[in-house]
DNA sequence: TTGTACGCGTTATCAA
DNA sequence: TTGATAACGCGTACAA
């Protein structure tokens, strides 16, 4: 049982009220007793109970963060951004994973409600389900990362997927590529759709008609395997360049290329999305669209603090930047047929 | 202001005591009123306050987790393991980063004390500092991951570094390598020392005398850069194989090799430690010592639960496994001088 | 300058 | 079967 102000009060021969005031630096208490009490508190190893304080103050100075899985290198950085800003502002953060399971996500939110968190931050959820049921019952601000939602307490900060995809395609167009493929994913429909839209829009601006054969969305297991699985479709489509939904997919594709003797970027240029750590580890280094993930997390928490302090806020969108590394090159002047065939 | 049992009591025309009992399924309350109250609670959107419950029960069902940085791919998995077991057991986890700053680490532990967490889990800290000052003041169990410490409330779960290093070296010896180098790190002294010890012990078992020229510990920036920086020393030492402190260093070294035209594994075999995701992404796939990181986290939390429930526990050590991929090969029969020179 | 009394939301003890 | 009342640790209005 930790030391309480009552214990200190007894030891000091005063009321617990006096102790409370002294420790909070209330000027009404005489300097001498204040000093004495402070010393006593120190000696007795007193640490105030945030639980009791929370009950009294009707706020816990905690926020709940829901992530699908922390294993995603993208999410990790976001969490780090959130946590650092939170910590600096005196907030603690509960981290919970949902594994992309809507039921668990609801359970997690329910737990956060029980714990009386002051706000909730959610990354990459399928808010559809969440929204419908009890999200509107939640009486605290909810900040969505990379996801929109509509509701009284719903706010969002997001990456500009379309702009990012445009960056990738523009880069490839600048390298004279014309047959550019897109590898999408089936399980993040919203962002996938936005990246696809950005991809198509950029092509259209360049006067290139969309070719359905140039977009695919492999079903295989994890993202890396999806990238590998996409290899055949890319070959069949005779693409000279590929824009992948994310880096892991791009890296999986590059692995398949290496296996089949297709040189990157000699025969095929590859652009990813995210700029995860591994993008600089692989060979060749992966050209990719950098997401300001840390900043995204920081912004989400900053916005949360604004909300908590009654300041005005509005939804934010963050721009991406291109990281030009070694997996892209100017298209060779050989005819496409020669370029895409095996050696 | 959320709904309380008093609100429900008023609406139901009973005392709040009855409501409390009804909602907890106390058999003393008649079925009819129980049903009526449950319905009311549901309709009014009642969610019990974990804060008030914690104050009363003198336990919060929360645990605090301190990590140096969540950005470390090793730590991420550990966190995931901890969180999944915690969540299943009804515990919530506070996650805080210390950035390897002893002061911040102390501040974080202090915050956890204020929040009255039931236990604390710490990964990869330099417990020296922590231990000395106020760690002994903490009245809750502390589980250290990959770190020993001595004290009343201190427990630990760890990877068997020596065994893991032995695995790596034995593998290389089996491939006929004799001049095997070790790349260490200056900033994780404990585990570095243990891996070095395992490295040397395995060599000794094979009757190979240690050669100081074959171990180095680059000071450069991050681990990747350290791996790159180690290249020259490895060349100078005329090693045919390298065991690196971790995967990122190994990958950095491989990048430098690619740059200088040194074939891996043709000229140099490389073994890492950790088995991070990127180990399968790089080309060639990195042979490495797999740490059961998820299991490590799960074990840490399981042990914490045991401690909390008064069960007996003892410090645990987890064995590693070798993941044999493509960065190691049998040494060629050319004389060493030919092997290590540039093409 | 200090103390008394009450409330925050919940559970438990005791009495009816 | 139900209800008053106290307690958990803290902060504060009101009194002295």
What is the pLDDT at residue B161? 96
Confidence of residue A147 (pLDDT cuts 50, 70, 90): confident
What is the pLDDT at residue A338? 45
A148-188 tens-digit pLDDT: 666 667 899 999 999 999 999 999 999 999 999 999 999 88
> Model-level pTM?
0.89
Under 8 Å CB pairs connecting chains A and B tally to 134
CA–C1' B6–D2 (A): 15
C-alpha B315 chain-centroid distance: 15
> In angstroms, rounded to a whole number, what is the distance separating the alpha carbons of residues B62 and B311?
18
Nearest CA-CA partner of B269 in B332, B191, B217:
B332
Number of neighbours of residue B25 by Cβ within 10 angstroms:
9
- Say if residue B78's pLDDT is above 80: yes
Q: B70, A80: Cβ pair inside 8 Å?
A: yes
Confidence of residue A94 (pLDDT cuts 50, 70, 90): very high
In this structure, the strands spanning A287-290 and A321-323 are antiparallel
B113-152 tens-digit pLDDT: 999 999 999 987 555 555 545 666 788 999 999 876 666 6
What is the pLDDT at residue B72? 81
- Say if residue A136's pLDDT is above 50: yes
Q: B79, A70: Cβ pair inside 8 Å?
A: yes
For residue A214, give every residue at least 6 positions away whose Cβ sits within 8 Å of its Cβ, in sequence order, or none.
A179, A180, A181, A182, A237, A239
The residue lying closest to nucleotide D5, measuring its CA against C1', is B17
> In angstroms, rounded to a whole number, what is the distance separating the alpha carbons of residues A101 and A185?
17
> In angstroms, rounded to a whole number, what is the distance separating the alpha carbons of residues B3 and B19?
13
What is the pLDDT at residue B34? 94
Q: Which nucleotides in chain D lie closer than 7 A to a protein CB?
A: 1-5, 7-13
Of A2, A54, A76, the CB nearest to B76: A76
Q: How many CA atoms lie within 13 A of B139 on its CB side?
A: 12
E-state strands within B42-109: 62-67, 92-97
Contact in structure between B138 and B115 (CB atoms under 8 Å):
no
> Which residues make beta-bridge pairs with B274?
B290
> In angstroms, rounded to a whole number, what is the distance separating the alpha carbons of residues B11 and A143?
33
Among A7, A45, A51, the residue to mutate for chain B (most B Cβ within 10 A) = A51
> In angstroms, rounded to a whole number, what is the distance separating the alpha carbons of residues A18 and A20?
5
Percent of chain B with pLDDT strictly greater than 90? 78
- Say if residue A133's pLDDT is above 80: no
CA–C1' B55–D8 (A): 5
- Three-class SS state of B128: helix
Q: How many CA atoms lie within 13 A of A125 on its CB side?
A: 29
Question: Exposed (0-12), middle (13-18) or buried (19+): which is B181, by Cβ within 10 Å?
Answer: buried
Helix H or strand E encompassing B307: helix B293-308
A207: tokens are 């006067």
Of A87, A93, A115, the CB nearest to B50: A115
Strands ordered across the beta sheet of A180-183: A215-216, A180-183, A241-244, A269-274, A287-290, A321-323
What is the pLDDT at residue B338? 45
The residue written with tokens 């000229």 in the block is B267
Contact in structure between B286 and B327 (CB atoms under 8 Å):
yes
- Say if residue B20's pLDDT is above 70: yes
What is the pLDDT at residue B342? 36
Q: A113, B79: Cβ pair inside 8 Å?
A: no
For residue A82, give every residue at least 6 positions away whose Cβ sits within 8 Å of its Cβ, in sequence order, or none.
A63, A65, A93, A121, A297, A298, A300, A301
- Say if residue B153's pLDDT is above 80: no
In the predicted model, what is the mean pLDDT of residues A85-95? 97
Nearest CA-CA partner of B168 in B32, B270, B60:
B270
B304-325 tens-digit pLDDT: 999 999 999 999 999 999 999 9
Of B108, B111, B116, the CB nearest to A51: B116
What is the pLDDT at residue B185? 94
> How open is the CA angle B224-B225-B227, to the nearest 5 degrees?
65
- Say if residue A126's pLDDT is above 60: no
A88: tokens are 């600096």
What is the pLDDT at residue B150? 63
What is the pLDDT at residue B101? 84
The residue lying closest to nucleotide C9, measuring its CA against C1', is B52
Of B51, B93, B282, the CB nearest to A282: B282
Among B1, B44, B50, B66, the residue to mutate for chain A (most A Cβ within 10 A) = B50
Helix axes A5-12, A31-44, angle to 10 degrees: 120
What is the pLDDT at residue A102? 81
Q: How far is CA B276 from CA A10, A200, B150, B211, B269, in A?
A: 55, 35, 30, 29, 18
In this structure, the strands spanning B241-244 and B269-274 are parallel
**Taking CB atoms and an 8 Å cutoff, what residues of chain B touch A84?**
97
> In angstroms, rounded to a whole number, what is the distance separating the alpha carbons of residues B279 and A33?
62
Q: How far is CA B286 from CA A275, B174, B214, B274, in A?
A: 21, 17, 21, 11
Q: B258, A76: Cβ pair inside 8 Å?
A: no
Average pLDDT value for chain B: 91
For residue B262, give every residue at least 6 positions away whose Cβ sits within 8 Å of its Cβ, in sequence order, or none.
B235, B268, B342
Confidence of residue B189 (pLDDT cuts 50, 70, 90): confident
Confidence of residue A119 (pLDDT cuts 50, 70, 90): very high
For residue B212, give every residue at least 6 positions away whose Cβ sits within 8 Å of its Cβ, in sequence order, or none.
none
Who touches strand C, with Cβ under 7 Å? A 13-18, 21, 27-30, 33, 52, 55-56, 58; B 1-2, 4-6, 16-17, 20, 23-24, 46, 48-49, 51-53, 55-57
What is the pLDDT at residue A339? 45
Confidence of residue A205 (pLDDT cuts 50, 70, 90): very high
Nucleotide nearest A32 (Cα, C1') = C1
In the predicted model, what is the mean pLDDT of residues A304-333? 93
Contact in structure between A112 and A56 (CB atoms under 8 Å):
no
CA–C1' A28–C1 (A): 6
Strands ordered across the beta sheet of B321-323: B215-216, B180-183, B241-244, B269-274, B287-290, B321-323
Contact in structure between B143 and B157 (CB atoms under 8 Å):
yes
The residue written with tokens 């997001």 in the block is A158
In the predicted model, what is the mean pLDDT of residues A242-271? 96
Q: How many CA atoms lie within 13 A of B296 on its CB side?
A: 28
Q: A97, B80: Cβ pair inside 8 Å?
A: yes
Nucleotide nearest A6 (Cα, C1') = D9
> In angstroms, rounded to a whole number, what is the distance separating the alpha carbons of residues A84 and A69?
19
């Amino acid at each position: 049982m930790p030391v309480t102000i009552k214990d200190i009060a007894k030891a000091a021969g005063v009321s617990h009220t006096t102790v409370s005031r002294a420790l909070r630096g209330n000027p009404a208490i005489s300097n001498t007793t204040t000093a004495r009490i402070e010393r006593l508190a120190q000696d007795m190893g007193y640490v105030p109970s945030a639980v009791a304080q929370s009950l009294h103050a009707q706020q816990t100075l905690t926020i709940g963060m829901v992530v699908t899985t922390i294993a995603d290198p993208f999410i990790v950085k976001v969490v780090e951004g959130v946590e650092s800003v939170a910590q600096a502002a005196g907030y603690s953060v509960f981290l919970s994973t949902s594994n992309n399971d809507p039921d668990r996500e609801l359970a997690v939110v329910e737990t956060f409600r029980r714990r009386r968190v002051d706000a909730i931050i959610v990354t990459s959820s399928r808010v559809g389900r969440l929204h419908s049921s009890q999200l509107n019952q939640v009486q605290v601000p909810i900040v969505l990362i990379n996801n929109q939602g509509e509701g009284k307490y719903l706010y969002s900060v997001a990456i500009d997927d379309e702009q990012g995809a445009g960056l990738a395609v523009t880069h490839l167009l600048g390298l004279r590529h014309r047959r550019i493929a897109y590898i999408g994913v089936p399980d993040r429909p919203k962002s996938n759709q936005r990246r696809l839209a950005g991809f198509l829009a950029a092509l259209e601006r360049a006067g290139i008609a969309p070719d359905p054969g140039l977009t695919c969305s492999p079903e295989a297991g994890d993202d890396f395997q999806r990238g590998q699985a996409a290899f055949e479709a890319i070959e069949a489509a005779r693409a000279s360049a590929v824009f992948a939904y994310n880096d892991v997919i791009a890296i999986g594709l590059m692995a398949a290329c290496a296996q089949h003797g297709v040189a990157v970027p000699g025969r095929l240029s590859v652009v990813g999305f995210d700029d995860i750590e591994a993008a600089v580890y692989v060979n060749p280094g992966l050209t990719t669209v950098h997401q300001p993930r840390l900043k995204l997390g920081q912004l989400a928490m900053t916005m949360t603090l604004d909300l908590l302090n009654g300041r005005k806020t509005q939804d934010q969108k963050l721009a991406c930047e291109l990281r030009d590394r070694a997996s892209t090159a100017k298209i060779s002047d050989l005819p496409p047929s020669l370029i895409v065939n095996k050696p």
